[in-house]
Chain A
Amino acid sequence: GQQLNQSPQSMFIQEGEDVSMNCTSSSIFNTWLWYKQDPGEGPVLLIALYKAGELTSNGRLTAQFGITRKDSFLNISASIPSDVGIYFCAGRLDNTNAGKSTFGDGTTLTVKP
């Protein structure tokens, strides 16, 4: 099946710094999704991208759908302690069974006050 390579695996940053993480795939997706997961909870959708080249923001978060449809990145600006968690990218391929998503292994973010 399709594989997503997410990097970096973990990040340790100072409060106020910007963060960047990305996902790459060997094959294309029609949709890229970015989720955040807090301990003991399920993932929560942050940003959804539906068109190649699309750049979307949600507050301090910005994500882009790569033009090749094989990659996406997520940026977090001016990080704060509550940004701590695991960030997952996910891709969906087709319009049927659209809910089936392939997930990356996650980026664990630690923010030092």
Chain B
Amino acid sequence: GAGVSQSPSNKVTEKGKDVELRCDPISGHTALYWYRQSLGQGLEFLIYFQGNSAPDKSGLPSDRFSAERTGGSVSTLTIQRTQQEDSAVYLCASSLRDGLRDTQYFGPGTRLTVL
């Protein structure tokens, strides 16, 4: 079956523009996570959705970042008024549930470059 897919794979934008990044999780997975990976760094948690519960937004770095998950499936991460420090790889992951033993499956990421 298909894994987690993300689009676009690469995005180059100008400072100040808005961008939308898309994640298609594995079918049937109720939990969805967004992480950010800067060059040479580990993954930084951004936001997490579990079923119909309110998302955990505790990792979002500023109010320019937002995410939604429609119909419990596809998720969109939106960055408004992009800044150069937003340049990074944005990774999405999904898991069957959000339990301690639920494996997260990652997508290939979207590489965002803000000029």
The chain A residues found within 8 Å of chain B, CB to CB, are 4, 6, 30-31, 40-45, 48, 50, 88, 90, 92, 95, 97-106
> With A42-B109, A100-B56 known to touch, is A50 a contact of B100 (CB < 8 Å)?
yes
Q: Which A residue sits closest to B104, measured CB to CB? A: A99
Check if A42 sits within 8 Å of B45, measured CB to CB. no
> Secondary structure of the A side of the interface?
loop
Q: Which residues of A contact B48 (CB under 8 A)?
A: 97, 99-100
In contact, B100 and A95 (Cβ under 8 angstroms): yes
Q: Which residues of B pack against A, CB within 8 Å?
A: 4, 31, 33, 35, 40-45, 48, 50, 56, 59, 91, 93, 95, 98-109
For residue A89, which residue of chain B has the nearest CB?
A: B42
Contact indicator A102/B45 (Cβ below 8 Å): yes
CB-based contact A40/B108 at 8 Å: yes
Q: With A42-B91, A42-B107, A44-B106 in contact, is A101–B100 under 8 Å at CB? A: no
- Given the complex, which residues of A lie within 8 Å of B105, measured CB to CB? 42
Contact of A106 among B42, B59, B91 (CB under 8 A): B42
Q: Which residues of A contact B40 (CB under 8 A)?
A: 105-106
Once the chains bind, are A50 and B45 in contact (CB under 8 Å)?
no
> Are B42's CB and A4's CB within 8 A?
yes
Contacting pair A100 B45 (CB below 8 A): yes
* A48: chain B residues within 8 A (beta carbon): 101, 103
A102 to B91, CA, bound (A): 14
CB pairs A–B below 8 angstroms (10 shown)? A4-B42, A41-B108, A42-B105, A43-B43, A50-B101, A92-B100, A95-B100, A99-B102, A102-B45, A103-B42
